[in-house]
A and B are shown apart, each in its own frame.
Chain A
Amino acid sequence: KAGVTQTPRYLIKTRGQQVTLSCSPISGHRSVSWYQQTPGQGLQFLFEYFSETQRNKGNFPGRFSGRQFSNSRSEMNVSTLELGDSALYLCASSWRGELNEQFFGPGTRLTVL
């Protein structure tokens, strides 16, 4: 069974640009959660999607958005990038959102210059 895949693995953008990250969950999983990891703030929850609906949202500005498609693949978008958005973005999938059955992807390393 293939694991959670994230593309791209590395990305360099400049301030003011926007970026889209992709996450393909494990086959059969319908819940996808996104987390941001930075040296200063650690790992923080961004949002969770289940069956194409955002079910939970963390405390991030509206520049951070996401969506989920009918095949459960999810995308995360960050508009008007700031230097502080440089981070490792991790997604995790599970069948219905069970935390003890959640599998993490390898992450996308975003660098904002």
Chain B
Amino acid sequence: SQELEQSPQSLIVQEGKNLTINCTSSKTLYGLYWYKQKYGEGLIFLMMLQKGGEEKSHEKITAKLDEKKQQSSLHITASQPSHAGIYLCGADGGSRLTFGEGTQLTVNP
């Protein structure tokens, strides 16, 4: 079965700093999803990547899928307190998602 490993597990940054979260898969990724979750709440879809080398951006968040399609990164530029939460990567397992453990992001004002 496919496993996703996220790093780091937690991250504390000062407002305005840039940061990167990584997601590494044990198998080739055919669809990689990034979600954000506020503690104890549902998941908010951020973006989906399918093609090797693909890069997508939304506001200050950029996600990339590497050429070999086994790793993805999520980069936040000029972080804000509103970016705080848990970031989860999920792999397309054919009608189901397999998730990484999540990265807890804290942004200090």
Residues of A within 8 A of B (CB): 4, 33, 35, 42-45, 48, 55-56, 58, 88, 90, 92, 97, 99-100, 102-107, 109
- Whether B31 pairs with A100 at a CB distance below 8 angstroms is yes
A97 to chain B: which residues have CB within 8 Å? 95
Question: Sorted from nearest, which 10 A-B pairs have the closest CB atoms?
Answer: A104-B42, A43-B99, A104-B43, A45-B96, A106-B42, A42-B101, A100-B48, A97-B95, A56-B95, A105-B42
A69 → chain B, closest Cβ, in Å? 20
Cα separation A58 to B33 with both chains bound (whole Å): 19
- Whether A48 pairs with B96 at a CB distance below 8 angstroms is yes
Cα separation A34 to B44 with both chains bound (whole Å): 16
How many residues of B sit at the interface, in one of the four size bands? 20 to 34
> Chain B contact residues: over half helix, strand or loop, or mixed?
strand
Show 29 A/B contacts (Cβ-Cβ < 8 Å), sorted by A.
A4-B42, A33-B96, A35-B97, A42-B100, A42-B102, A43-B88, A43-B90, A43-B97, A44-B99, A45-B96, A48-B95, A58-B96, A90-B42, A90-B43, A92-B43, A97-B95, A99-B33, A99-B48, A99-B90, A99-B92, A100-B31, A100-B45, A102-B45, A103-B45, A104-B35, A104-B42, A105-B42, A107-B41, A107-B42
With contacts defined as CB atoms under 8 Å apart, how many contacts are there between chain A and chain B in the complex?
Answer: 55
- Whether A100 pairs with B33 at a CB distance below 8 angstroms is yes
Residues of B within 8 A of A (CB): 31, 33, 35, 40-45, 48, 88, 90, 92-93, 95-102
A6 → chain B, closest Cβ, in Å? 8
A56 to chain B: which residues have CB within 8 Å? 95-96
By beta carbon, the residue of chain A nearest B99 is A43
Given A102-B45, A107-B41, list of 7 further CB < 8 A pairs? A42-B99, A43-B102, A55-B95, A58-B96, A97-B95, A99-B90, A99-B95
